[in-house]
A = this chain, B = another copy of it.
C-alpha cells in the first residue's frame, strides 16, 4: 500500500461515485481555519511543503485498489476506475512561515473533482497539524524576547514523524536548535544536548560525572546541576569548569524547582567563581507562558529549552480547519448547514501595511498596496518551484511578525486581527446564499 490509503474511506466512495457519474470537471477546494483557538493572535502557515511532497508522489496502485476494495467489501474490479489515479491539479498556497488569520485560505486545490476530493484527508491533516505546532512554537520565540529557544519535544510528540515536524517548525519560527538528531542533520538545524539525571546517577559522585563528561566531550559542555541539590550542583560545576578551563561557551542546565530563584543563585555562584561566560539553560515543562514569566521576572536565564507542551501545542492541539469546495465546473458553491457557513469561490488574500488583510475573489485586482499571499506552487501535478529552504521560510516568518500589531503578539490575551472581505466576495456570498434559500429543492446554486 502507498500512502494513497492514508485517507478517510469516504473520499474513496465519493471519488467512485464522481467517476461513475462522469463528474470530472475541475473543482476548487479551499483550506482555511474558521476561528483561531483562544490564546492565539495569529497563525503561522505550515504543512504546505509536506502536502506538495504527498501530491507529487500520489498514485493509486494495484495494492491501493485492493485495500479500498477490502475496506468496502467489494470486488477489486469495482475500484478499477481509481487505478493509476495521480494528482494532476493546481495548488495555490500561502508560503510556509507567513502569518495567516481566521478565514484566510492557507491553500487552494483545483483539480478534476475526484482527485480534489481524494486528497482532502491527507492534505488537511498535514496543514492542520503543522500550522497548529508552528503557531505555538512562534509564541515561545516571542516570549523569549531575543534569548535563544531550543526544541526538546521529541520524547512527548505524537510519534517520530510529529517529533521531526516539531523540530522543523521550531526552526522555521526562529528556534536556535533542536535535540532531535534526525531533524538536525536532515534539515541543517544546530543540534543541542546535555546529559540526563541518569547520567549523573550512574557515577559514584556528581563530580565524577561532570569530569567524565568533560573528558569525553572537548570544548564547551552543558552540565545538568539539579540531580541532587541544585546549588551544590552549580558550585561543583563551577569548580570542574574552572579546573578544566572550560568556561567560555559552557553552561549549566536547571531542569526543576523555582527556575527564577535557582537561576539567580546559579548566576551569583558562577560570577563569584569568575565564570561570567558560563551560561544558564532552563528546561522542564516550559512553554511560552512560563518563558514569558521568567523573562519578565528578570531571571538571568540565557537559553530556554521547550519541549512537551510546545511539541503537542498543548493548549490548542488542533485547529478548526476545513477543506471546503468553493467552486465546481465554473460555478461558485457554498454550504449553509447550522453554524458552519462557508463562502463561495476561489480566493486570494491581500496583505496591506498597517491595514487589515482583505480576503477577495481570486480574480479581483489587488487593493491599493496589497500583496497577494497565495502563490501558485503546483501546476499539472508538479511543483512550480523547488521546495522552500528552511532559512527562507524562517525569514518570511520574522518579516511577517514585524508587521503584526503588538496586541496580536502578546503572550497573554492576544487580540487577533480580523481580515476584511472584499465587496465582490460579499456580493457573491449574498447571491449564492439567497439562491440556496430561494430553492425549495435545496439545490446548490449554480451561478452563471
Contact = CB atoms under 8 A, between A and B. Distances in A.
A180 B29 CA distance: 21
A155 B123 CA distance: 8
A227 B12 CA distance: 19
Contact of A128 (B117, B156, B446): B156
Contacts of A152: 8
B193 A156 contact: no
Interface stretch (A38-46, A140-148, A207-215, A413-421): A207-215
A18 B121 contact: no
A368 B125 CA distance: 50
Contacts of A8: 152, 154-155, 179-181, 193
A112 to B, nearest CB: 12
A288 to B, nearest CB: 16
A180 B338 contact: no
A129 B227 CA distance: 26
A179 B6 contact: no
Contacts of A126: 159
Contacts of A324: 197-198
A156 B123 CA distance: 10
Interface of A: 1, 3, 5-14, 16-18, 20-21, 23, 27, 29, 67-68, 70-72, 113, 117, 120-122, 124-126, 128-129, 133, 152, 154-165, 179-182, 184-186, 191-207, 212-213, 215-217, 226-230, 232-233, 236, 255-258, 308-309, 312-314, 317-319, 321, 324-325, 328, 333-340, 436, 441-444, 446
Given A7-B154, A13-B217, A27-B202, 12 more contacts: A5-B182, A10-B196, A14-B199, A16-B217, A125-B156, A129-B162, A159-B159, A201-B328, A202-B328, A229-B442, A255-B337, A258-B338
A201 B335 contact: yes
Contacts of A446: 204
Contacts of A68: 181
A195 B13 contact: yes
A71 B124 CA distance: 33
Interface centre among A124, A212, A338 (most CB of B within 10 A): A338
A444 B209 CA distance: 11
B207 A5 contact: no
Which of A202, A236, A441 has its CB near the most chain B CB atoms (within 10 A)? A202
17 contacts: A6-B180, A8-B193, A10-B179, A13-B195, A14-B198, A17-B215, A27-B198, A71-B191, A117-B196, A125-B154, A128-B156, A156-B318, A201-B335, A228-B336, A256-B340, A308-B318, A314-B318
Sorted nearest first, the 7 A-B pairs with minimum C-beta distance are: A9-B193, A71-B191, A257-B338, A10-B193, A158-B158, A198-B325, A17-B216
A226 B158 contact: no
Given A3-B182, A184-B9, A196 B443 contact: no
Nearest to A198: B325
B10 A195 contact: yes
Contacts of A196: 10-11, 14, 117, 120
